[in-house]
Amino acid sequence: MNTERAIQLSNQAVSFLESKSFEEAILSSCAAMEIFQQSRHMAEQVLSRQGNDFIDQCILNHDKTSSSDQTIMDDDFIYEHGIVLPMNTFDATVITPVLIFNCALSYQLAARHCDDGTHQAFLDKAASLYQIAYKDQDQDLNTIFKFAILNNIGVIHKMLDRSEAAKACFDYLVSMMMIYVATDNCKYLRLVQGFWNNVLGDGRETAPAA
């Protein structure tokens, strides 16, 4: 029951993000993480998993029912779509990073509307949460998810004038994209192709031909 409630709150946070109600998104996503933490030990006892790239599939499914427009603020591309989980999701290795991602995104988008002090605190909070969501991801799975996280972390570093850290994120994304282009395996990465605005904005690379 707690797991379902956590997913419901996290999905509600996505709706708040879509309506640009960022404070409500933060409250809802934080509550989702807190509730899931209370029942996480039960979810971790589940022996079966929900398949490879399940998080990416959730991203693609939600993209079919929502606008694919991305936000570019001051030439910075942010992947700003929260991830909606099916209510019957049971795999802790899926639920945990998605709840954390939605919370991180809430803080990042809310930071635009904060004063200077809260602005940096919210961005630092978002970056920390993104890193937690990313760290346990399999190298070969959920490529869109990982791409979105690294892009958003890079934008945060750039906004906080951490140029070397931002460059490291964007350079890594360029190398990832080149690999997928070379292997003709990048059709789903169209959702995050706006990251070239971040790369080209720093004058480092040229986007590959579509």
DSSP string, 157-206: HHHTT-HHHHHHHHHHHHHHHHHHHHTT--GGGGGGTTHHHHHHHTT---
- Measure the CA–CA gap between 42 and 65, rounded to whole angstroms: 32
Structure tokens at 185: 């395996």
**Helix residue ranges per DSSP H, the chain:** 2-18, 22-43, 54-64, 92-110, 116-135, 143-159, 163-182, 195-201
- Of 63-72, 104-113, 192-201, which gets the smallest average pLDDT? 63-72
pLDDT at 72 over 80: no
pTM above 0.85, yes or no: yes
- pLDDT tops 60 at residue 139: yes
What is the Cα–Cα distance from 121 to 118, expressed in whole angstroms?
5
